[in-house]
A and B are shown apart, each in its own frame.
Chain A
């Protein structure tokens, strides 16, 4: 069986981030990492290889040339090869455009499972898995704490406030997993060295059968304004007081805001 893991390169959490003059996210000069939530998808795919259920894992990413770094890091953890889709028309692509491109690429790669993390760190919309499934007309198995494959079927174990369910669908599927999959493995030194030799292809929009018109300029929404949030009053501090006095002050503070 074959899995394609979709990953995204994002700015490191906590890095200094800004908008450019044309109100796009300024990704230049910032340390880039694999979207942390995608690492769980990578880990899940590699576990299925370890178990022998899956024979091949391909990584797919859409982004600027620099995104090839994220693909190499993924290959260093394991897996067989990678595809980078890069095209000037994709700058500033929103989730819809991203889903459209990934869906087209996935149709070409035709995996049994297209696997993703549950959301992206910087944009947090998490609509890509569902949109890709809809565009490709395949079932969606989302928010899995675990992915299992058997004859012609995929299942995810999804946690709920009342326990968990196993949700199943016939292959091929789009699936997304959460951090409950477990700690992603470190790339070993041999893995890092081997990753340099694993095949990586670069595709343009045309290679997946799309044109920039198909993407309507890359985004269906646009930012019309950006501003700093309302200034918050500075943090009030309570320190060096005995507990009962401090507690009384906190209660006063809460009462003043009608919270108790």
Chain B
């Protein structure tokens, strides 16, 4: 199947790029240095209707296609990876509701997410359950007309600034993670919830990565998503789609680094000529550009398949995230190299971009997990049986 980039896509890209260059890029260094969540930029994105692109019209969103949503993330990430997480995580947190919520649950929560009035986060990971999602231990005990949640989560992006969470916990501990996990919508104002600490990280430092504690948090019955035991499936279905946001983020980070490296090389003179006139530098830049473009096009191809509800969706989204994440790491590292000593210091943005890029190889499924997913799909297609 093919995909088409339309004039509407170009228009969206131009609109977001203007915003990113004028208002987001100038804040990027400060956000990284102060490790502060950019509330002002969140307000800006909300005002510009850019936090509602994955929600339907009837909930106050703009229902853009998935390629457009990727373009939005890409253009913001090109200016600042931290800020690009705002639309990314808004979608990530909301996907369980979008995929499995009842109409009533959607009507109750989605409008405030689409308008950006509320932020939502996705609370799956635990200290002892990262790649091994099924090792989750947090409990949701059925009590009267609802559930009581007990346990903690770790590495939850925006967990400390979100108004709403989609939380995964065991309703049937004996059945284990795969069959006994359920999904819930939890309002963070609920008593017993806390976000006691955030991590100090290598990159995306303005984005709070929080530890969350649930101490007898009460959740009504009609805040459960889907049936009991469906939690694992919901989580996987969510990640199959949300990882495209990370692919787009990685593409954006790579593009930003490429642009910075090119501008520097065109300006800097050594040995009597511009650095960009050295063939070796041109080759490096060419590799950076073609790899970034390849990652971009693969991301769009995967996005088109998401919209087409392709049956082999995970093959595409995992491939995109795998390739894009590795490209972002390579391109940002090369960018630092092109800038030489200046690439290492904070006066230039590429060192931040390189630190930011690393996370795209780690979260929403490490590159190793992505490889497992791609391999499984590959074997399935080829009719080769998979063990266990």
Whether A189 and B50, one on each chain, are in contact in the complex, defined by CB atoms closer than 8 angstroms, is yes
**Chain A residues with CB below 8 A from B18, complex form:** 186
- Asked if A188 is at the interface (CB within 8 A of a chain B CB), the reply is yes
Whether A189 and B62, one on each chain, are in contact in the complex, defined by CB atoms closer than 8 angstroms, is yes
**Chain B residues with CB below 8 A from A192, complex form:** 11-12, 15
Least CB distance from A57 to B in Å reads: 20
Whether A190 and B62, one on each chain, are in contact in the complex, defined by CB atoms closer than 8 angstroms, is yes
**Chain A residues with CB below 8 A from B47, complex form:** 188
- Asked if B187 is at the interface (CB within 8 A of a chain A CB), the reply is no
**Chain B residues with CB below 8 A from A186, complex form:** 15, 18-19, 48
Complex CA–CA separation, A187 to B15 (angstroms): 8
Least CB distance from B55 to A in Å reads: 12
- Asked if B49 is at the interface (CB within 8 A of a chain A CB), the reply is yes
- Asked if A193 is at the interface (CB within 8 A of a chain B CB), the reply is yes
Number of contacts between A and B (CB, 8 Å)? Answer: 22
**Chain B: CB-nearest residue to A196:** B8
Whether A193 and B62, one on each chain, are in contact in the complex, defined by CB atoms closer than 8 angstroms, is yes
Interface string of B43-59 (1 = CB under 8 A from A): 00001111001000000
Query: Interface residue count for A (Cβ, 8 Å)?
Result: 8
Interface residues of B in 21-62 (CB under 8 A from A): 47-50, 53, 62
Complex CA–CA separation, A253 to B19 (angstroms): 44
**Chain B residues with CB below 8 A from A188, complex form:** 47-49
Interface string of A76-107 (1 = CB under 8 A from B): 00000000000000000000000000000000
Least CB distance from B61 to A in Å reads: 10
Complex CA–CA separation, A141 to B50 (angstroms): 38
**Chain A: CB-nearest residue to B50:** A189
Interface string of A176-212 (1 = CB under 8 A from B): 0000000000111111110000000000000000000
**Chain A residues with CB below 8 A from B62, complex form:** 189-190, 193
Interface string of A145-169 (1 = CB under 8 A from B): 0000000000000000000000000
Least CB distance from A7 to B in Å reads: 18
Complex CA–CA separation, A55 to B53 (angstroms): 30
Least CB distance from B22 to A in Å reads: 8
Complex CA–CA separation, A193 to B49 (angstroms): 11
**Chain A residues with CB below 8 A from B15, complex form:** 186-187, 189, 192
Interface string of A108-125 (1 = CB under 8 A from B): 000000000000000000
**Chain B: CB-nearest residue to A190:** B49
Specify which of B18, B19, B48, B50 lies most central, judged by the most chain A CB atoms within 10 Å of its CB: B48
Interface residues of B in 216-241 (CB under 8 A from A): none
Complex CA–CA separation, A188 to B51 (angstroms): 11
Specify which of A188, A189, A191 lies most central, judged by the most chain B CB atoms within 10 Å of its CB: A189
Complex CA–CA separation, A193 to B62 (angstroms): 9
B53: contacting residue among A187, A189, A191, CB under 8 A: A189
Complex CA–CA separation, A189 to B62 (angstroms): 8
Complex CA–CA separation, A181 to B356 (angstroms): 39
**Chain B: CB-nearest residue to A187:** B15
**Chain B residues with CB below 8 A from A189, complex form:** 12, 15, 48-50, 53, 62
Complex CA–CA separation, A191 to B19 (angstroms): 15
Complex CA–CA separation, A163 to B161 (angstroms): 46
**Chain A residues with CB below 8 A from B53, complex form:** 189
**Chain A: CB-nearest residue to B53:** A189
Least CB distance from B69 to A in Å reads: 11
**Chain B: CB-nearest residue to A185:** B47
**Chain B residues with CB below 8 A from A193, complex form:** 62
**Chain A residues with CB below 8 A from B49, complex form:** 188-191
**Chain B residues with CB below 8 A from A190, complex form:** 49, 62
Least CB distance from B284 to A in Å reads: 29
Complex CA–CA separation, A188 to B62 (angstroms): 11
**Chain A: CB-nearest residue to B18:** A186
**Chain B residues with CB below 8 A from A191, complex form:** 49
**Chain A: CB-nearest residue to B22:** A186
Complex CA–CA separation, A227 to B53 (angstroms): 52
Least CB distance from A179 to B in Å reads: 16
**Chain A residues with CB below 8 A from B19, complex form:** 186
Least CB distance from B150 to A in Å reads: 41
Least CB distance from B323 to A in Å reads: 29
Least CB distance from A219 to B in Å reads: 34
Complex CA–CA separation, A13 to B11 (angstroms): 20
Least CB distance from B51 to A in Å reads: 10
Complex CA–CA separation, A188 to B53 (angstroms): 12
Complex CA–CA separation, A191 to B47 (angstroms): 11
Least CB distance from A185 to B in Å reads: 9
Starting from the known contacts A186-B48, A189-B49, A192-B11, 9 additional A-B residue pairs (CB-CB under 8 Å) come to A186-B15, A186-B18, A188-B47, A189-B12, A189-B50, A189-B53, A189-B62, A190-B62, A192-B12
Q: List 20 A-B contacts (CB under 8 A).
A: A186-B15, A186-B18, A186-B19, A186-B48, A187-B15, A188-B47, A188-B48, A188-B49, A189-B12, A189-B15, A189-B48, A189-B49, A189-B50, A189-B53, A189-B62, A190-B62, A191-B49, A192-B11, A192-B12, A193-B62
Q: Which residues of B pack against A, CB within 8 Å?
A: 11-12, 15, 18-19, 47-50, 53, 62
What are the 9 closest A-B residue pairs judged by CB atoms, nearest first? A189-B49, A190-B49, A188-B48, A188-B49, A189-B62, A189-B50, A189-B48, A186-B19, A186-B48
